[in-house]
Amino acid sequence: MAIIILIVIIYMAVMIGIGVYGSRKKAATESMSNFLTAGRNGGLFVLVCTYIGSHVGNGIIVGGAQYGADYGIGGMWYGLGAVLSYVLFGLVMSRLLYRRGYITIPDLIRDRYESKVASVVMAVLNICASLGIMAAQVMAGSSLFAALGLNPTLGAVVVAVVVLIYCAVSGMWGVLITDSVQSTLIFFCTIFCVVIIAMNGGFDTISAALPETYFEPVPFDTETLVMLLVPTTLNGLISGAAYQRNASCKNEKVAFWSPLIAAVALIPFVILPVIIGMYGRAEYPDAPSLAIFFDVVLNMHPVIAGLMVATVLSAVMSTVSGGLLNITANTVNDIYYKTLRPNASQKTLSRASMLVTAAAGIIALALAISSSSILSLLSSTYSLMNAGSLVMVLGGIAWKKATKEGAIASAICGMIMIVLSNVGVPIPYISFTSLIPALIAFIVVSLMTQKKSVA
């Protein structure tokens, strides 16, 4: 345990060191735009790494192992949704966003509908979604500390503070560089963990100990399958973190290829954490599902266990850092600067970016401490974001007659559906059905307000 904790301390120190180093670079701190986009100078390797890091957080690593322990092979569907989300983003959105220079989704909404209100609605939706995603990541960090026999609340605080330091002082530059380190560590350590399991007869253990249902690709009802796969996939079209990464690319070629290459690189993570979870269920049948990943890795050689613990922290911190910068962009760029104070100085905006980053981290930490399920939190977050913004974004791109009134009406109707579902109203396939009233409101209200919008 001492070796594991030492490796974790060294890893945390390296992440902080990268942030402090980045704070001295003009690409990180010279202006708000540079703070949010690393000076728009990201190359292919770091962009692929940061896309991987954004999605391979606890939802895929810890959550994938948890669902592998609960469902077997069927636990892969969330990871598959993550892969498809980047395929969608790369093919449909990446070039359009890069050519128009958008940093955030509200940038697109403001430009398309010429409406500050619609832009602010989108910004608030994005902030809420990012907070939920970040909270889910911090939950995994707290679970890790609990598995180490340490206070889980302390663990959540440590994870949040370290990410806050390197995000607040170096912005997107710090996110890109730390993601490159973190994604490389995640990739090789997770593969190595499964290789060790295989060398120790783990596949035979899985086959002998687990029932046949664990080898069925869809061991649950159709609605569960839809909720695991669809919200995550569709979120690729409206992912605030993806928009900001796209804006950080140095050219259009990087903007197009980086999410597609990241999707391919994510494919191993569709199944590897699930295998770890299945092995954990076979070896530790009475262990809680959420802790199954840690039960497996902490019983390996101390050095390997330490690296795997660092891998989980990498996954957590990578996704949290992207969420923090996305919230900062929505709050400072979209609401404060472009809506409330368009004459604010770059010094004021840079200072506001750092303060908002810190505040967002504190709120996400509080949300994480009060939540209990990683994947359910992620699924609910993606469903809310999709219901409120998918029709607004895609409708605005595809339909010239769309109006700002129709966009706002679609967001309200979609969010109402999600709220009704969360308070107990039985709405089947909510990730799909929430889009129906949103689409109807979008079309009807847009047609009713054509002349008003022209005037």
Instruction: Enumerate the domain spans of the chain.
Output: 2-375
| pLDDT score recorded for residue 178 | 79
For residue 249, the cross-strand partners are 42
Short-list 386, 391, 394, CA closest to 409: 391
pLDDT digits (tens, 9 = 90+) for 282-321: 999 988 887 788 788 888 878 877 877 777 777 677 677 7
pLDDT digits (tens, 9 = 90+) for 84-135: 999 999 999 999 999 998 988 888 899 999 888 888 888 888 888 777 777 7
Q: What percent of the chain has a predicted confidence (pLDDT) above 90?
A: 24
| pLDDT score recorded for residue 439 | 94
| pLDDT score recorded for residue 454 | 44
| pLDDT bracket for residue 30 (50, 70, 90) | low
Which residues contact residue 233 at a Cβ distance below 8 angstroms, ignoring those fewer than 6 apart?
81, 84, 85, 88
| pLDDT score recorded for residue 93 | 93
- For domain 2-375, the CATH architecture is Up-down Bundle (1.20)
3-state SS, residue 239 = coil
Whether the predicted pLDDT of 141 surpasses 50: yes
CB 202: neighbour CB atoms within 10 A? 21
Whether the predicted pLDDT of 373 surpasses 70: no
Question: What contacts 24+ positions apart, CB below 8 Å, involve 97-103?
Answer: 97/243, 97/246, 97/247, 97/255, 98/246, 98/247, 98/249, 98/252, 98/255, 98/256, 99/252, 101/247, 102/243, 102/246, 102/247, 103/33, 103/36, 103/37, 103/243, 103/244, 103/247, 103/329, 103/333
23 vs 95, higher pLDDT? 95
Average pLDDT over every residue of 151-170: 75
| pLDDT score recorded for residue 207 | 92
Average pLDDT over every residue of 411-431: 84
| pLDDT score recorded for residue 238 | 84
Q: Which two tokens stand for residue 410?
A: 């679609």
Of the candidate ranges 43-57, 161-175, 180-194, 364-378, the one whose mean pLDDT is the lowest: 364-378
| pLDDT score recorded for residue 219 | 87
What is d(CA 449, CA 7) in angstroms, rounded to the nearest whole number?
A: 61
The answer to whether the pTM exceeds 0.95 is no
141 vs 247, higher pLDDT? 247
Average pLDDT over every residue of 134-158: 74
pLDDT digits (tens, 9 = 90+) for 223-233: 788 877 887 88
Average pLDDT over every residue of 67-76: 89
What is d(CA 51, CA 183) in angstroms, rounded to the nearest whole number?
A: 9
- Per the prediction, the chain carries an average pLDDT of 83
pLDDT digits (tens, 9 = 90+) for 311-346: 777 767 767 777 787 888 888 888 888 888 888 887
Whether the predicted pLDDT of 176 surpasses 50: yes
Whether the predicted pLDDT of 455 surpasses 50: no
What is d(CA 106, CA 171) in angstroms, rounded to the nearest whole number?
A: 20
